[in-house]
Amino acid sequence: MEVTPIPVLTVPTVPYEDQKPGGSGLRRATAVFESRRHYLQNFVQSLLASVDLRDRQGCTVVVGGDGRYFSRTAIEVIVQMAAANGIGRLVIGQNGILSTPAVSCIVRKIKAIGGIILTASHNPGGPGGEFGIKFNIANGGPATDAVTDKIHQISRTLEDFAICPDLRIDLSRVGRQDFDLENKFKPFRVEIVDSVEVYLNLLRGLFDFNAIKSLLTGPDQIKIKIDAMHGVMGPYVRRILCDELGAPANSAINCVPLEDFGGQHPDPNLTYATALLEAMKGGEYGFGAAFDADGDRYMILGQNGFFVNPSDSLAIIAANLSCIPYFRHMGMRGFGRSMPTSMALDKVAKSLKIPVYETPTGWRFFANLMDSGRCSLCGEESFGAGSDHIREKDGLWAVLVWLSIIAARKQGVEDIVRDHWTKFGRHYYCRFDYEDLEPRAAFFIMRDLEALITDKPFKGQQFAVGNNVYSVEKADSYEYVDPVDGTVTKKQGLRIIFSNASRIIFRLSASGSTGTILRIYAESYEKDPSKHNKEPQAVLGPLIAIALKLSQIHERTGRKGPTVIT
Ligand code: VG1
Ligand code: CO
């Protein structure tokens, strides 16, 4: 039967000035994507045009996301525009569902040139929430600054976009769909794949599934509670933790992906993962975890809701890598942590004689280190950790690492953490987020702070708060020279390091969508085990007081405190 080729249209458009992707893609209020004419189309065109025309025909792009509101519309447009722009093949998660780590995994596995992830990560979804588009490159990691700059440049002068409005696909049907187009690019192929399978196969090769299964089902089993927060992780948790590893079905909560995440923030921390925290406080469960909407962040809780700080979690993973077959086989190269992440990792690295790379915030810097073979394990204070099995942070991977450690050490979460502190000392840590600030006010606070702390007399200055005296050892605006390619990244946060190894860091978020977020991070080190039982905020109170005084953030914004503390 003769099939009429699908028409390709060129539609005139007017460029937008603000389509510069942040550290994790272009994130905006959903309403911006929904109501501004061709806002989505313009960005997708710029993104596709950043791939050289010669490379498009033979190439594959992976597409998926966390299932939030507007994802289906976005995927339909991406399919129609990828076809019209000469992309050879799209591989899409069934019903558009793929976690961020799964996209990274598939891109690498099938040697795609990149992936498009529809998500605004831990931010709320729905018509009144946020939407976002992340772009990952061929290594499976987030686009480098060079790529995002190129996309931004194209978007600023865009005059038209190409689209096949009549091309329709069935997102629910796993398998291949081929299309003849009315242009020189043909045929165009779409493959809908199971959302979990490829990623599950990768995990099978990294871990001892039998050991985890015995922990969850054997005579000394621990009961676990896992909160998918109505994001993308529901299907992964059910299939991997329940079906494959034997956790009972009722271990998993909030496992149906919802377009608005049930109206909640899909953000795994003590403020937002309340269902998990409540369940854990009951004392019945020995291990709890929650994920963000796109599955790259995780939070670990022990019995009775014992909280594992993410920087500690990273250090504990590092200290126990021999429990994981993958690391036993591959050996351990370097560790990586983002600059604001606590220095707990450095203590472990020192004892293992392994180098630590300190990088700016954002996974793309780790991806470069991993590609060059310098780094095997990386993490951030913002509830992210991962290894070189992919090029994104990976929430479920971190959970399986923890379960492997528990199985090997035959200890509970809290005991593992306390033993770690006794051996290496405790890094008290907290982060204050001031969200939705007036951008200019935030900019001026940072500008004035930079002038203050980089002024010569600041070094050596002493601050007395109560009985504590803090003496400034070093203060600067953090910049990073990539050891792989020499790229210099400036203005990555203001840091004050005191002589007792305490640190205060101020940073503007690069991942938000509305307003500006200013983050203040505070850290102090305590070696003495008899002092490991304090509340972080009590220990860090003097540092916070210094941070507030230096920045004058409350006076200058009218705020009385941060929006969220983690
Ligand atoms: C935040 C976190 C950072 C993380 C980024 C993306 O960035 O602090 O550590 O890599 O989000 O996470 P920022 O610039 O707002 O501090 V996710 O889960 O969006 O992909
Ligand atoms: Co995320």
Give the pLDDT band (50/70/90) at residue 24. Answer: confident
Count CB-CB contacts under 10 A for residue 526: 16
User: Taking residues 16-40, what's their average pLDDT?
Assistant: 93
Q: Across the strands, what pairs with 181? A: 6
Q: How far apart are CA 229 and CA 234, in angstroms?
A: 8
Residue among 131, 390, 511, 519 to mutate when testing ligand 1 (max atoms within 8 A of CB):
511
Residue among 361, 381, 507, 508 to mutate when testing ligand 1 (max atoms within 8 A of CB):
361
**Is 60 exceeded by the pLDDT of residue 166?**
yes
155 catalytic per annotation:
no
**Is 70 exceeded by the pLDDT of residue 447?**
yes
Tell me the residue type at 310.
P
Q: Whose CA is nearest to atom 9 of ligand 1?
A: 382
Q: Whose CA is nearest to atom 16 of ligand 1?
A: 509
Q: What is the pLDDT of residues 175-221, one digit of tens each?
A: 999 999 987 666 899 999 999 999 999 999 999 999 999 999 988 89
**Is 60 exceeded by the pLDDT of residue 2?**
no
Residue 97 Cα to ligand 2 midpoint, Å, equals 14
Ligand 1 atom at minimum distance from 142 CA? 20
Query: Tokens in use for 274?
Result: 């309340």
- Strands 26-29 and 480-481: what pairing? unpaired
Task: Give the pLDDT confidence score for residue 465 in this predicted structure.
Answer: 86
Task: Give the pLDDT confidence score for residue 185 in this predicted structure.
Answer: 65
Q: How far apart are the first and last CA of the chain?
A: 62
Q: What is the pLDDT of residues 217-266, one digit of tens each?
A: 988 899 999 999 999 999 999 999 999 999 999 999 999 999 999 999 99
Task: Give the pLDDT confidence score for residue 343 in this predicted structure.
Answer: 97
Query: Which entry of 46, 50, 99, 121 is annotated as an active-site residue?
Result: 121
Helix, strand, or coil (residue 302): strand
Q: What is the pLDDT of residues 142-156, one digit of tens each?
A: 999 899 999 999 999
Query: Tokens in use for 505?
Result: 């860091």
Task: Give the pLDDT confidence score for residue 4 in this predicted structure.
Answer: 82
Please tell me whether the peptide bond between 257 and the residue prior to it is cis, using omega within 30 degrees of 0. no
User: Taking residues 323-348, what's their average pLDDT?
Assistant: 95
**Is 50 exceeded by the pLDDT of residue 1?**
no
Residue among 98, 296, 358, 382 to mutate when testing ligand 1 (max atoms within 8 A of CB):
382
User: Taking residues 307-324, what's their average pLDDT?
Assistant: 97
User: Taking residues 87-113, what's their average pLDDT?
Assistant: 97
Ligand 1 atom at minimum distance from 392 CA? 20
CA 368 to chain centre: 16
Residue 386 Cα to ligand 1 midpoint, Å, equals 14
Q: Tell me what the pLDDT averaged over the chain comes to.
A: 94
Closest listed ligand to the CA of 431: 1
Q: Whose CA is nearest to atom 11 of ligand 1?
A: 511
User: Taking residues 91-114, what's their average pLDDT?
Assistant: 97
Q: What is the pLDDT of residues 371-388, one digit of tens each?
A: 999 999 999 999 999 999
Q: What is the CA radius of gyration of the chain?
A: 24
Ligand 1 atom at minimum distance from 338 CA? 9
Q: What is the pLDDT of residues 520-557, one digit of tens each?
A: 999 999 999 999 999 999 999 999 999 999 999 999 99
Residues with CB under 6 A from ligand 1: 23-24, 121-122, 292, 296-297, 338, 361-363, 380, 382, 384, 509-512, 519
**Is 60 exceeded by the pLDDT of residue 395?**
yes
Domain architecture of the chain: domains with CATH: 9-195 (3.40.120.10), 199-424 (3.40.120.10), 426-565 (3.30.310.50)
Give the pLDDT band (50/70/90) at residue 453. Answer: very high
Residue 362 Cα to ligand 1 midpoint, Å, equals 6
Percent of the chain with pLDDT over 90: 89
Q: How far apart are CA 115 and CA 118, in angstroms?
A: 10
Residue written as token pair 């992440």: 341
